[in-house]
A and B are shown apart, each in its own frame.
Chain A
């Protein structure tokens, strides 16, 4: 990807400049900056070429296919979709509480997924910016330069990622076809050999995760004034918490605070999510804008993901991650850390929590034996919610008498961060745009701001690298000023 398609154009009142595509986020994005007559940035719009086929893809299929089917919506976080769908269809077979073995196996699978996803993002996508600087030569801000200058850190990232994949493979089998979770439970135990294999490396994995937290902490605190200000927006936060308010990635109640840090709901049953969360539609994008119903769309938008979760929880159940959380919360002296770049730090705290939790689970005999599947009375509606690596993920299905899905609604994590990403981009652009010229530095800053959220756009796009992309430049009156098209080979034409 490159940044060559920067095409400032003027209309009579509002000038729009387009930055496309945004690199190192998953899928392709496009940013439009709207300027007023004085060339001040009034609005930023992150466009996502959203695929509007989720429902069509799912509807008409028998419910038991869903955990396997929905994995194919996203090549980046298939396990998150797998587990959210499984939680939903548990209810379709009348199960609200899994057996201990099944629940622990699902948690192990989930921790493996979050660990590998966070490792990939931090070491591969974000750390080149963080270690080399946002202004450094773009040809140096990549994993290759990281391997050259920080070989130990880079290899640890690769091995953390590998370990997470191995956990997934141990629970779910072949990575791409994983069908571990089924309605009402799981389809197999972990075997002893797999357990022992994973235990061989777990202490090393925890140590590397601690090192990653230390690195993220050191980077953030090296320039706290800048890092706490850059792309920072005052937002609400939402995520699951456990019964005691602890960090919970698999199952819990919803906790939501608003941008003034007041509680909107707590331990809220996600079965009733649509009483608290609605989605606003805007004419310039297919991507929706979720908000808290009691506050409305203007004041009720919020952030999800690692920053939200670490902010919202009262504690973390694993000791090293809890120490890291305490340090994290203490650094600003405020009850909620609003710094957008602190996403990276929070992400590494969760990475450590996952590594510690995997170790705990691997020593649990319930993984190796015990009842796996329950059945209850058939129902026709199921709602599964999980904390995916990028934030809260909702799967909602309705079925008919023949067990066919007749309605599906998904709220993916990146959608919940939609408004916040736009606000962060606007903040960065307003601060760094000089005159009427886009500079490479500004582009870098915009990308860094978006990347902090780790948005996954691949749910919304076609196969990566094969998606043609059109860019349109439209003036304030709606007239098309300019159009660029990119074909599947990346060739740009007008």
Chain B
């Protein structure tokens, strides 16, 4: 069982919504270059309920998504199950997904975090904006450090949060 699950979501052809899938491509490259075996990467258009099964099979989950409301180029926040989240669409937020997890397995989800990368425009057929491209570049360095450090020590102790504390 891999210890770190990375779920990157978005649509490559909807402008800055591509940030998630592009981050996934970067992590895939890193895994290949660094011979990392501890990471499972999932790319998806949207979060879906069956991903609770993937989350259950990993020690830690990192969601990566584009976010127009992100106040900095990128930010990471811990996720937690929120029963107050709407469950009314095919599309789920990480917190809503974790509430599905909690009910599905009757236990607290493993540590989960959301890396939001700021995007600006999400039109079909648009390419990545210059600003989003720069934000992704900044986020890549952070992602690399995160995955690298996680692979060496912290994941072994399931103390992923210490990476950025």
Contact = CB atoms under 8 A, between A and B. Distances in A.
Interface residues of A, number: 46
B89 A26 contact: yes
Q: Nearest 4 A-B pairs (CB), nearest first?
A: A75-B45, A72-B13, A147-B103, A162-B50
Contact of A76 (B69, B90, B100): B90
Given A176-B45, A463-B14, A158 B122 contact: no
27 contacts: A2-B86, A51-B124, A53-B124, A57-B13, A57-B124, A57-B125, A69-B13, A72-B13, A72-B14, A75-B45, A75-B46, A76-B90, A78-B45, A116-B50, A120-B90, A143-B100, A144-B103, A154-B104, A158-B50, A159-B53, A161-B50, A175-B43, A458-B90, A462-B14, A464-B90, A466-B68, A489-B69
Contacts, number: 108
A148 interface: yes
Nearest to A26: B90
A303 to B, nearest CB: 21
A489 B74 CA distance: 18
Interface string B44-59: 1110111011000000
A351 to B, nearest CB: 15
A158 B124 contact: no
A147 B104 contact: yes
Interface string A161-186: 11001000000001111000000000
B94 interface: no
B49 A158 contact: yes
Interface in B51-82: 52-53, 68-69
A1 B90 contact: no
Given A73-B124, A147-B104, A176-B43, A23 B50 contact: no
The contact size tier of chain B is 20 to 34
Contact of B91 (A51, A116, A465): A465
Given A24-B89, A144-B87, A464-B89, A120 B104 contact: no
B132 interface: no
B44 A23 contact: no
Given A72-B11, A177-B43, 19 more contacts: A1-B88, A23-B86, A23-B89, A56-B125, A76-B46, A116-B50, A120-B49, A124-B90, A144-B99, A148-B103, A157-B49, A161-B48, A162-B53, A165-B48, A176-B44, A458-B90, A462-B122, A463-B122, A465-B91
B109 interface: no
A464 B14 CA distance: 11
A272 B90 CA distance: 35
A142 B88 contact: yes
